[in-house]
Amino acid sequence: MEQSVILETERLFLRKFALQDVDALAAVVGDPVTMEFYPAPLDRQGTADWISRNVQRYQRDGHGLWAMVLRDSGALIGDCGCVVQEVESKNEIEVGYHVRRDLWGNGYATEAARACMEYAFTKLGATRVISMIRPENRSSRRVAEKNGMVREKTIFWRDYDHCIYASDYGQT
Ligand SMILES: CC(C)(COP(=O)(O)OP(=O)(O)OC[C@H]1O[C@@H](n2cnc3c(N)ncnc32)[C@H](O)[C@@H]1OP(=O)(O)O)[C@@H](O)C(=O)NCCC(=O)NCCS
């Protein structure tokens, strides 16, 4: 487990997912409220597929969504990470995040996303990082704003309008 830790923050660490995480992650992405802005909550198989997709991303891109773990208890409470997304024919690094619903409002997504932005700039050599957020998703927009991202424009992406929040290296 130790060698799979990617990032540490004051209260969290981010580490690579493994298939053993399926039950803990299902408590996050299987929740219908948490997945309001996605096509549907994920069942156990969908959660396992989510983990597999991210393991493939680690191998292909060197990064992906990582498990968000509380340092105090070792509990997996969500995910956050850097994902390659093709947006308007250009590859971008997106910082994405999900937190178990009973823990919303404690600043965990903001703390993890900020660390991922820094990681993208300093370790991945990114000059720009984005988050794509549905306009109705006010808490996610707030996370981006708290981390100094700027709303650039709205695009139609994967069947829905998405606000592009972006930050350039050295901007925040
Ligand atoms: C978005 C999400 C990850 C935020 O996680 P979190 O750990 O609660 O985030 P934080 O505590 O760091 O910050 C949330 C902010 O949104 C604010 N917020 C929450 N609900 C809100 C609402 N309905 N309207 C406006 N702001 C809201 C909180 O007050 C907080 O801001 P503040 O610190 O200024 O008070 C979490 O809500 C989640 O998992 N949502 C579902 C998955 C998702 O949408 N992921 C993002 C996809 S783009």
Q: Give per-residue pLDDT as tens, 15-50.
A: 999 999 999 999 999 999 999 999 999 999 999 999
Residue 140 alpha carbon, nearest atom of ligand 1: 1
Closest CA to ligand 1's atom 16: 139
Indicate yes or no: pTM above 0.95.
Answer: yes
In sequence order, which residues have a C-beta less than 8 Å from that of residue 13 and are 6 or more positions away?
A: 5, 6, 7, 69, 71
Q: How far is CA 15 from CA 57, 58, 141, 165, in A?
A: 14, 11, 24, 25
Amino acid 162: pLDDT: 98
Q: For residue 113, how far is its CA from the centre of ligand 1 (angstroms)? A: 12
pLDDT of residue 171: 76
Cα(110) to centroid(ligand 1), Å:
8
- CA of 136 relative to ligand 1 center, distance in Å: 12
Residue 53 in contact with residue 30, Cβ under 8 Å?
Answer: no
| pLDDT value, residue 1 | 54
Which of 164, 126, 161, 165 has its CA nearest to residue 147?
165
Q: How far is the CA of 32 from the centre of ligand 1 (A)?
A: 16
> Which residue stretches of the chain have pLDDT < 50?
none
| φ, ψ at 140 (rounded to 5°) | -70, -40
Indicate left, alpha or beta for 74 from its phi (over 0: left) and psi (-120 to 50: alpha). Answer: left
Q: How far away, in angstroms, is 74 Cα from ligand 1 center? A: 22
Note the pLDDT of residue 172. 64
Residue among 65, 139, 147, 155 whose CB has most ligand 1 atoms within 8 A, to mutate = 139
- Ligand 1 centroid to 121 CA: how many Å? 23
Predicted local confidence at residue 43, as pLDDT: 98
Ligand 1, residues at Cβ distance < 6 Å: 34, 37, 97-99, 104-110, 133, 137-140, 142-143
